[in-house]
């Protein structure tokens, strides 16, 4: 399958998951107090800001799919010095915020699937970035994927 087709499949699945998270009904599985809802709202706003700032850094290299453009450059400054995928980090913050606000185990389950999905999407995208940018491996070694300061132990196969 062509890279662009795979990239668009990732976009489609992402859209379905995020739409589900937005449209799923609220529940009563945990406290929906004002403080809890406020924390969820703060996470959503922080995620939107992260997405905006990281997108601006990419400029014309920003694409809807996880396939790097031929004219882009490897970004290692700004938010990209803290995490390799600040846009995905922003989306995941939004997912956390939606989950907190929902008080629903169904939303929590879809959120877990969404986090796993973004990890797999980032893994595929990183293979594309390795093929495109010779310095990507060194950057990936020193920079966490989604959470600043969090570098899980890597398996020998790089996954």
| 81-108 confidence digits (pLDDT tens) | 999 999 999 999 999 999 999 999 999 9
pLDDT at 80 (0 to 100): 97
pLDDT band at 33 (very low <50, low <70, confident <90, very high): confident
Min mean pLDDT across 22-26, 102-106, 136-140, 155-159 is at 155-159
Are 87 and 51 in contact by the 8 Å Cβ rule? The answer is yes
Mean pLDDT across the chain: 93
pLDDT at 154 (0 to 100): 57
Residue 152 has pLDDT above 70, yes or no: no
Are 109 and 103 in contact by the 8 Å Cβ rule? The answer is no
How many other C-beta atoms are found inside a 10 Å radius of the C-beta of residue 26?
12
11: exposed, middle or buried (Cβ count in 10 Å: 0-12, 13-18, 19+)? middle
pLDDT band at 158 (very low <50, low <70, confident <90, very high): low
Are 83 and 143 in contact by the 8 Å Cβ rule? The answer is yes
Output the pTM of the full model: 0.91
Residue 32 has pLDDT above 80, yes or no: no
């Amino acid at each position: 399958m062509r890279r662009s087709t795979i990239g668009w499949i990732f976009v489609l699945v992402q859209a379905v998951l995020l739409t589900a998270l937005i449209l799923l009904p609220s529940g009563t599985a945990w406290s929906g107090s004002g403080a809890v809802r406020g924390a969820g709202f703060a996470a959503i706003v922080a995620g939107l800001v992260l997405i905006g700032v990281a997108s601006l850094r990419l400029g014309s290299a920003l694409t809807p799919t996880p396939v790097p453009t031929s004219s882009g450059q490897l970004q290692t400054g700004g938010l990209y010095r803290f995490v390799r995928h600040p846009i995905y980090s922003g989306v995941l913050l939004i997912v956390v915020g939606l989950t907190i606000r929902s008080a629903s185990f169904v939303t929590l389950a879809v959120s877990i699937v969404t986090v796993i999905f973004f990890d797999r999407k980032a893994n595929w995208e990183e293979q594309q970035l390795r093929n495109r940018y010779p310095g990507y491996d060194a950057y990936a070694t020193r920079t966490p994927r989604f959470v600043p300061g969090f570098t899980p132990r890597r398996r020998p196969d790089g996954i």
